[in-house]
Structure 1
Amino acid sequence: MVTLQAFQPLIDTVQGSLLLASPEDGRIYCANQLACILLASPHSELLKSSVYDFLPDKTEAYNICRELAGNNMIYNRGMQLSTGTGRLFDVQLSARRILLDQVPLLVVSFSDRTEAKVLGQLLDFERQLVERSLSIVKTLKEEGRQSEDEDKLTGVVGMHRLMSSAHAETSRAKRYGGSLSSLALELVNIPEMVPREDDGSAYSHLIRLAGSLCLQSSRDSDLVARRSANAFVILLPQTPIGGAHEMGRRLIKSLRQLTFLYQGAENQAAACIGISTLRPEETSPAPMLERLEDALAKARAGGANYIIELP
């Protein structure tokens, strides 16, 4: 089915979950990103599976095949699917047999009916955690609330937005079984900014370079925030602690290649890094961020180029 590869960019734009499969045995040829997420199965693994592997009731596969043989289409049927990890969830499913360039195909689309309910629970959950979230923000910021000027200087978001995203990503990780990690980077040889209003100082130059490096090293799904005057926090969805460590190693290596002039001398940039990850039993990002703060403190005590993990 090489010709179907051309349809991958197209089906990735579909808002719902979409699968293209064999009408005979349900073997999946193409799947969009949302289908991979809802079925909790990587794209490469999904292409080795059958549509019917995700039916918790195997007799349902026979009923679907018989109904498609008679009517050629199933529309908006309420039923259950099972993820790759065995979690059951309610869906509205449609399926139809088609001919594409004389090749028979089974087109399956489905949407998660529990989404609206979970979103409502998420809003209630976030309201309950507002007070604790504000406390964590205060702990993470050594120099208090960040100003708009600091955000303009670095080009990254503030900690309030990161905290909001951390709660949403935690709920998403718990729902779909993914990983969530966080990384804190602190520059250890910051020059004094004299005067502090001088955006062309060595201080501002180094901070801008560090912020730019963090952004360039992150993915579209990651979020980089300014933690304090000389530190950044990066939220890493769908990333285990090993991936976060590799990112930290690359950041330190890249920072060591940056230089800045201060009082007539050339200096090499250096940083230390703390890393933490969300534990399976945790339903809030707060414990992960508390461990992140502890990891960064230990790395700061070690000095330049230290990476400390507290899973």
Structure 2
Amino acid sequence: MLDTLLEHITDSGSKMTRFTTMIRIYSERLKEDLDTESVQAIVEDILSESRVIRRSGQMLKKRIVLSTREIESLRKDLDKIREEADTDMLTGLKNRRFLARQFEQESERAIRDHTPLSLIIIDIDHFKRINDTHGHIVGDRVLKIAASMIRECVKGRDMVARFGGEEFVVLLPDTPLNGATILAEHICTYFKNMNWKRKDTGQTIGQVFISLGVSEYRPGESLDSLIHRADEALYLSKTNGRCRVTSEASLKESYATAQDLG
């Protein structure tokens, strides 16, 4: 595509150079005492060459317009490929790859602007039981609906990603730990109040509960470190009966209590 356009530009440039040279030569000749036929021949040559230049210019213009359209089409294709590479195909959420890239941007911003950054990790309770009882098609549908429900609860630059399996992550710029914990409680309650039913058979699935862990970014730490603390809080939610939220602040209290008992 670009090679073809370059050929048209080069050809058009060559014709213009030839035309410019011809005009310069004829300008010198017209200073001479020429007869009428000679002058007429020069004028006809100039007019003929100018028509060639005009056609070449028109062709070049068409080629540029066509190339611009092709480039725009290629850009859209590349954007689509990039979007697909960053998207979990089942749920339509962003994937771990995009999460990692987004974390880099948001953590740099948090350090630069001295703003908080928090993370929620969410796990669907007893998801294997759903798959075993109702099949993987229903399980996939539960994941899609769960993704949609979580996404409904966030706003602005907040980002929801599927972390893997039945786990989701919410990255929360400009949000301290207590704000993230309040949002996590809201998401948990949203799931508690939802009754699930199979669309194809009308069979009631019952309630789908989630456990959540919350952590806040510490300047300079990695995404793995931030997720690890949220995951520890999530584990405590599971240990304490599931269907609940645990923040890393509660995690510290739990460790302190365990040490006191020890």
Rounded Cα–Cα distance in structure 2 between residues aligned with 1:186 and 1:276: 15
1:61-72 aligned at under 5 Å gives the runs none
Larger relative contact order (CA 8 Å, sep ≥ 6): 2
| Unaligned residue ranges in structure 2 (runs of 5+) | 1-83, 250-262
Rounded Cα–Cα distance in structure 2 between residues aligned with 1:298 and 1:207: 23
Cα distance change of structure 1 residues 187 and 178 upon mapping to structure 2, 3 Å threshold: same
Identify the match of residue 270 of structure 1 among 198, 203, 209: 209
1:193-212 aligned at under 5 Å gives the runs 195-196=135-136, 198=137, 201=138, 203-212=139-148
8 Å contact kept, 1:226–1:233: yes
Aligned to 1:286: 224
Q: How does the TM-score come out when normalised to structure 2?
A: 0.55
Report the secondary structure of 1:215's partner residue: helix
Superposed CA deviations along residues 240-265 of structure 1, whole A, max 9, x for unmatched, are 01110111111011111222237944
Aligned to 1:103: none
Identify the match of residue 109 of structure 2 among 163, 172, 179: 172
| Structure 1 position 295 matched with structure 2 position 229 | no
State the percentage of identical aligned residues. 22
Rounded Cα–Cα distance in structure 2 between residues aligned with 1:172 and 1:260: 40
Identify the match of residue 236 of structure 1 among 157, 167, 172: 172
Counterpart amino acid of 2:94?
V
Counterpart amino acid of 2:184?
G
| Structure 1 position 181 matched with structure 2 position 118 | yes
| Structure 1 position 219 matched with structure 2 position 160 | no
1:91-240 aligned at under 5 Å gives the runs 151-190=88-127, 191-192=130-131, 195-196=135-136, 198=137, 201=138, 203-240=139-176
| Structure 1 position 249 matched with structure 2 position 188 | no
Backbone CA RMSD of aligned residues: 2.3
8 Å contact kept, 2:125–2:243: no
Aligned to 1:309: 247
Moved over 6 A (4+): none
Task: Report which of the two has the higher share of helix.
Answer: 2
> Number of paired residues?
159
Superposed CA deviations along residues 95-140 of structure 1, whole A, max 9, x for unmatched, are xxxxxxxxxxxxxxxxxxxxxxxxxxxxxxxxxxxxxxxxxxxxxx
Q: How does the TM-score come out when normalised to structure 1?
A: 0.47
| Unaligned residue ranges in structure 1 (runs of 5+) | 1-146
Task: Report which of the two has the higher share of strand.
Answer: 1
1:58-97 aligned at under 5 Å gives the runs none
Superposed CA deviations along residues 167-211 of structure 1, whole A, max 9, x for unmatched, are 111111000000000001111032016653x3xx2x122211110
> How far is the alpha carbon of 1:283 from its aligned partner?
4.5
Greater displacement, 294-303 / 222-231: 294-303
Report the secondary structure of 2:169's partner residue: strand
